[in-house]
Structure 1
């Protein structure tokens, strides 16, 4: 994971969190350095636990799309209540296939 320093997570909008770079379109599907967001580590891990890269490339390739997805909405409602320093355990779920 490429570090992006502390700041605001572009997905959950929590402040003062350690961030990493997330490719909105995965690199294996043509995403480049201009197609990235700075996300907190828990949000980044949750995205990759819930969705395969193919689904991220096709359906969830923007912050707004991720925020509107029902599975991510549940997670975002929870993580927003957590302190900035908390690093929750993320369990991988079975990938949904398109």
Structure 2
């Protein structure tokens, strides 16, 4: 179990002690003082407990949960490539990629907007 946790954490960070990890969604660096979180590719409530996780900026993580329900995440958006292919997230990635790595703004909108493609 410990080996599994260690391997998951090693996937979250770049190589080397002084390197800064990259956000799996937008690709921008995540400085140590910036809000960040781990995203379960398959939601824990949908069978993803102990499954793969990726490190994201908090704003990127919030946007994922704004755009998609947990059922959608479990069924068809359970990889980074699938998340990037979602039209709403693709627009967000294009927008946020122009911001500095420390950029954060409150994510606005109703959570899990149905039918938004």
- Which TM-score tier does this pair reach, normalised by the shorter chain? 0.7 to 0.9
The Cα of 1:59 is off from its aligned counterpart by 1.3
Gaps of 5+ in 2: 1-11, 14-19
Q: With structure 1 as the length reference, what TM-score do the two structures score?
A: 0.85
Q: With structure 2 as the length reference, what TM-score do the two structures score?
A: 0.72
What value does the CA root-mean-square deviation take over the aligned residues? 1.9
The Cα of 1:96 is off from its aligned counterpart by 1.4
The Cα of 1:86 is off from its aligned counterpart by 1.1
Residue aligned with 1:78, SS: helix
Task: Provide the aligned length of Structure 1 versus Structure 2.
Answer: 94
Q: Where has structure 1 moved over 4 Å in runs of 4 or more?
A: none
Cα distance in 2, alignment partners of residues 95 and 54 from structure 1: 13
Contact residue 42 and residue 88 of structure 1 kept, 8 A: yes
Aligned partner of 2:81 in structure 1 is 64
Larger radius of gyration: 2
Aligned partner of 1:24 in structure 2 is 41
Gaps of 5+ in 1: none
